[in-house]
Chains A and B, each alone.
Chain A
Amino acid sequence: DQQVKQNSPSLSVQEGRISILNCDYTNSMFDYFLWYKKYPAEGPTFLISISSIKDKNEDGRFTVFLNKSAKHLSLHIVPSQPGDSAVYFCAASETGTASKLTFGTGTRLQVTL
């Protein structure tokens, strides 16, 4: 039972356009959410996070939106760049288990010229 779901295994976007990656979760105890980026042959690296007390967090070209009622979050990348091509993992942490992250299956983003 996947508690964190990324239903789109892949996404292709033109350079300069917006990339929107989606993530759904089922566990209502999740209270902190993160996005990680992974390049081939490397480990995932932390990108951006959001607490459940917020509905938006922005860091440069990256913005994460959280809709708690829908149990949905999304990552927006504007403008998309070729270097953003990677696999993006959504992750969530449950109240009281701050160190433990539950990851989704990932979305492969390809930014084309």
Chain B
Amino acid sequence: DAGVIQSPRHEVTEMGQEVTLRCKPISGHNSLFWYRQTMMRGLELLIYFNNNVPIDDSGMPEDRFSAKMPNASFSTLKIQPSEPRDSAVYFCASSPAGGRIWEQFFGPGTRLTVL
């Protein structure tokens, strides 16, 4: 079975450019999460969706960040305009309905570098 798929794996861009990160959750999972990992703050939850609906976006740093989930198999995290302080590893995770919903399955991450 394919796990959570993220693309691109690496992204280098210049300050001010738009960045779009993509995620395909595990089929059948109904919750999707976007995290950002930095040395100082560890893994921070940015936003999560349940059944394609955003439930909690309180972790989104500012208006430059937006996330969408147009269907159960695809989500995007967009940063516009990007800034050097956005450089981090961004993870997408999904979890199944019912049962051990606390157990989240993570993708391999996208390493973003903003110059």
Contacts and interface: CB of A to CB of B under 8 A. Distances in A.
B45 to A, nearest CB: 6
A41 B109 CA distance: 8
A32 interface: yes
Nearest to B6: A43
A17 to B, nearest CB: 26
B14 interface: no
Interface stretch (A44-52, A61-69, A70-78): A44-52
Contacts, number: 64
Interface magnitude class on chain A: 20 to 34
A49 B100 CA distance: 10
B108 A103 contact: no
B93 A43 contact: yes
Interface string B89-115: 001010100001111111111000000
Interface in A48-105: 49, 89, 91, 93, 97-105
A46 B103 contact: yes
B42 A99 contact: no
B106 A43 contact: yes
B18 interface: no
B40 interface: yes
A49 to B, nearest CB: 7
Given A34-B102, A99-B31, A100-B56, A44 B43 contact: yes
Given A41-B108, A105-B40, A32 B91 contact: no
B48 interface: yes
B103 A99 contact: no
Given A43-B4, A43-B93, A43-B109, A101 B104 contact: yes
B108 A99 contact: no
Contact of A89 (B39, B43, B107): B43
Interface in A1-31: 2, 6
B91 A99 contact: no
Interface of B: 4, 31, 33, 35, 39-45, 48, 50, 55-56, 91, 93, 95, 100-109
